Structure 1
Amino acid sequence: MARLKKKHLNKQLRSAHQTKSEKGKYLVLFLGFLMVGSVFGVLFYGAPSSAYGSVTYKGYVFEQTNVGYEAKIDGEKYFFTTLPQYLEQLELESFDDILLRGGFVFSFDPEQGAIDAVDAARLFFARELPLRGIAYGEGVLKPSTIYALPVITCENASQEQPVVVVREANMTSITYEENCLIIEGQPQTITQYLQALEYKILGVL
């Protein structure tokens, strides 16, 4: 009786081993199929340009990132928060006239809500405008203990030295008179206009 039980137990072990081996073979075949399929997928459909995708505008490729968009313009990389096609409707023809003057002074309210966007735009202007032969200066609309800049308003604007003013307001307003361009609006609107000015300088818009 003991021999029969032992023989029966060995048979069960061999059967279990064979079943496990067969499962292992099927698993290897399945994984191999997935790997081959993924390779052919890349060959036929191409690898994605980035984890978030990309958008092309007037020949410029904007790669989406986790913080915005990255684009190579004239061989240099730039970062944006808004795509240019969403800013086309903004009326900024007067800024083109200011750029043709050869320079301008940028003045802002140091206490406005969009100050982060203003500071980012200031860095952009200070870096990019001189490279394009455009003179650039800065000022504030009222005295500030944070910004060591002169007070510059539309009263200081002239034919030789136009002024671009950015300040927060409840209503969006764009005015251009007596050599002074005034951009007013909520922080989000101001951020969009400043981004549009950057695109204008780069020749994208």
Structure 2
Amino acid sequence: MLKRIEQKKARRKKFYIGAILVFLMIISMLGILLGNDGGAQFEYNKFKFEVENNLLVTKINGEKKTFRFLPQELLSIKTPADLKQTLKEPMMVLTFDPGVGVQNLIYLDLIRKDFSDSFDSFVQSGITNQSELYNMPLVNCDNATQSIPVIYFNLSNETSITKDDYCTVFNGQTIEFLKLRDLTLYIYYGVING
């Protein structure tokens, strides 16, 4: 009889230990499921960034905006002091050489669309040379005026943004153009002071 009581106590003890382990596992799984907010978080200049679908997302004026690079990754790129003022002009023209190669054109088309969607300005596109692929007006830095500035995407090994009178030149290639895109939008939205 004593042996039976001890066996009963041992089974009860195993049951309680098992129940506690199951409870802890369930709580742990709930914590993981409910606490998973999509990934890493970063902060810059009071803006919080989260990683969603391999993009950096932050809220600006109540809207989600996506980027590929953190602001601090772009601070070493040279920019003109009055870039933000240029981006706030009521109208601007984005121009590029359509002969820069398909890979660069993919990036440039994406950036032109992003700028058109993001800026409060009326954004017109142009090309620097005739093209069968693009039916756009011919525009280069010579066409830039104070009231209609030109942003020229220039294929270059140096990644920078320079200015010549009313023409802002984005120097870069392929993925570097995306860095210039992010930097420009950060300045435009006030994430980076520029």
TM-score range, shorter chain: 0.7 to 0.9
Deviations along 1:128-153, one digit per CA (max 9) or x if unpaired, are 22xx3x23211112222222211211
- Give the counterpart of 2:93 among 72, 80, 105: 105
Pick aligned residue for 2:180 from 175, 193, 199: 193
Query: What is residue 56 of structure 1 aligned with on the other side?
Result: 43
Tell me if the contact between 1:124 and 1:198 (Cα under 8 Å) persists in the aligned partners: no
For 1:77 and 1:36, how far apart are their aligned partners in 2? 32
Residues in 2 aligned to 1:125 and 1:36: alpha-carbon distance in whole angstroms: 46
Indicate conservation of the 8 Å contact 2:107/2:175, yes or no. no
Q: Normalising by structure 2, what TM-score?
A: 0.77
Distance in structure 1 (CA, Å) of the matches to 2:62 and 2:24: 42
1:173-188 equivalent positions in 2, closer than 5 A:
173-188=160-175
Corresponding residue of 1:7? none
1:204 is aligned to 191
RMSD: 3.1
The TM-score, its normalising length taken from structure 1, stands at 0.73
Residues 73-92 of structure 1: pairs in structure 2 closer than 5 A: 73-92=60-79
Q: Deviations over 1:145-186 (max 9, x none)?
A: 222211211111122211110122233454311311112223
Aligned to 2:109: 119
Aligned counterparts of 1:78 and 1:173: Cα–Cα separation in 2: 23
Which residue is 2:24 aligned to? 33
Percent identity reads 25
Q: 1:22 to 1:82 in 2, by over 3 A?
A: same
The answer on whether the counterparts of 1:121 and 1:198 sit within 8 Å (CA) in structure 2 is no
Residue 197 of structure 1: SS of its match in structure 2?
Answer: helix
Bigger Rg over Cα: 1
Aligned-pair distance for 1:38? 6.5
- Tell me how far 1:23 sits from its aligned partner: 9.8
Distance 1:153 1:183 in 2: 13
**Structure 1 residue 56, shift from structure 2 partner:** 1.6
- Report the AA paired with residue 58 of structure 1: N
Higher RCO structure (Cα 8 Å, ≥6 apart):
2
Q: In the alignment, what sits opposite 1:96?
A: 84
Task: Specify every segment of 5 or more residues in structure 2 that has no aligned partner in the other structure, as ranges.
Answer: 1-7
Distance 1:70 1:147 in 2: 32
Q: CA deviation at 1:37?
A: 6.0
User: Could you report, residue by residue, the CA deviation over 1:72-99 in whole angstroms, capped at 9, with x for unpaired residues?
Assistant: 1111111111111212232222422423
**1:24 Cα shift?**
7.2
Higher relative helix content: 1
Summarize the Cα distance change of 1:190–1:200 in structure 2 as closer, same or farther, 3 Å threshold.
same
